[in-house]
Amino acid sequence: MKNRIAILMVVSVILIMALSACGAVQDVSTVNDLGKGFMTALRDGDASGSWDMLTKAVQDEVGSTDAWVEFVTPRNFSNWNFTNTQVENNSAQMDGEATLGEETYTVVLVFDKADDTWKISGINFTLK
């Protein structure tokens, strides 16, 4: 009887860990897709689509969709490569590089999760 209880407890712990890992893997995948979608929207000049990927706080900081269009228009990166994605609880970050003409930029995108939805809460493009 004690062996059955011990086995049941071990199996329960393994299942809980596996379910937690599945959620973390899903979050990394969702963040990766959002980051790539954001960069694609910038490349394609889709200001409306990229605007919808931002948190309300970032939208408020930018001020208006017209101001956002001014921000994104010169940032139509031709290609990009993210080399690191970190997710911890309801925050995430993607790091990489992007090319605009002959110039290479370091890219950092920060994400927050609210109500099971990931949104971009920070953007940093720095010329290398």
Tens digit of pLDDT per residue, the chain (128 long)?
A: 655 555 545 444 444 443 444 456 799 999 999 999 999 999 999 999 999 999 999 999 999 999 999 999 999 999 999 999 999 999 999 999 999 999 999 999 999 999 999 999 999 999 99
Give me the domains of the chain, ranges plus CATH numbers. 27-127 (3.10.450.100)
Across the strands, what pairs with 98?
80, 105
Bridge partners (DSSP) of residue 111 are 92, 120
pTM of the model: 0.80
β-bridge mates for residue 83, sequence order = none
CA angle, 108 then 116 then 121, to 5°:
25
* β-sheet bridge partners, residue 109: 94, 123
